[in-house]
Amino acid sequence: MPAADQEPQGLQAISAYDGHADAFAAEASVSPYNAFYDRPTVLNLLGDLNGRRVLDAGCGPGLYLAELAARGAEAIGFDQSADMVRTARQRLSPDIRVRQHDLDQPLIWLPDQSIDLALLALVIHYVRDRVAALREVHRVLTPAGHLVISTSHPTADWLADGGSYFTAHRVEEQWSCGLLHRYWRQPLQDWCAEFTAAGFTIEQIVEHQPANGMELHHPAAYATLSREPGFIAFRLAKTASRAPADAERTGLRHR
């Protein structure tokens, strides 16, 4: 397993969005990878939201929160970036709760079994101790609760960066907006092992497909994403907590 100091620090990785929140919100509202790829896939996996209490962990500028509220959910969100929280509050209705919080820290402000559904949309790859963070989400979910996660497809990372598909490591890339993007890359089996180590059962795995409209508005991205995967999403069900000794034996308590 990789040493802990090879992983991106959650605080450092996500706070890099400070100073870029407005530009990111404008871009993600219409971009092929967000508006026509990730959001349609994740919202479909979430299912019926009417009357449900939904947590958006790593909510960014609030694009998902707006969709959740429009579908009848009681939407709650948080983000590590103060700039993202500011932008979200400016964009959203005041009855949507948004706060600043680092996903690498315990969710002490949320009671046990207080959330029906949670989503981590394109954020889990920033988190330092993913199993610990997922266990906190597991704690706050109701017994019948679900978690939906989207992240970079491991094959897409491998095709873009090369090297061994099975070697987990940090990736750095410069985005067009000037943001230095740092995230964690690992094979599919590692993601699945972490989800089960945190107490979840994998109900569904979806490899994103372009949504209607991408071909018209973003033909180049459509051509690429129609032949090779960019993102992958998981619908996870909360299962009964295992004894600490069982979790230790997975070897995934902390990477």
pLDDT digits (tens, 9 = 90+) for 109-156: 999 999 999 999 999 999 999 999 999 999 999 999 999 999 999 998
The answer for residues whose C-beta is within 8 angstroms of residue 254's C-beta and 6 or more apart is: 4, 129, 131, 132
pLDDT in tens, 68-101: 999 999 999 999 999 999 999 999 999 999 999 9
Residue 142: its pLDDT value, please? 98
Q: What was the pLDDT predicted at 15?
A: 57
Cβ–Cβ < 8 Å for 232, 151: yes
0.75 exceeded by the pTM? Answer: yes
Is pLDDT above 60 for 108? yes
* Domain extents in the chain: 4-249
Q: Is the confidence at residue 207, as pLDDT, over 60?
A: yes
- What are the tens digits of pLDDT across the range 21-75? 888 899 999 999 999 999 999 999 999 999 999 999 999 999 999 999 999 999 9
Type of residue numbered 20: H
Q: How far is CA 206 from CA 17, 42, 48, 214, 231, in A?
A: 27, 9, 18, 18, 9
Query: What pLDDT score does 8 carry?
Result: 42
Condensed to tens digits (0 to 9), the pLDDT of residues 148-201 reads: 999 999 998 888 888 899 988 888 776 666 666 778 899 999 999 999 999 999
* Beta bridge mates, 180: 174
- From 3-17, 34-48, 174-188, 207-221, the region with the lowest mean pLDDT: 3-17
Give me the pLDDT at residue 2, please. 35
Mind listing the pLDDT tens digit for each residue in 241-250? 654 434 443 4
Name the CATH superfamily housing domain 4-249: Vaccinia Virus protein VP39 (3.40.50.150)
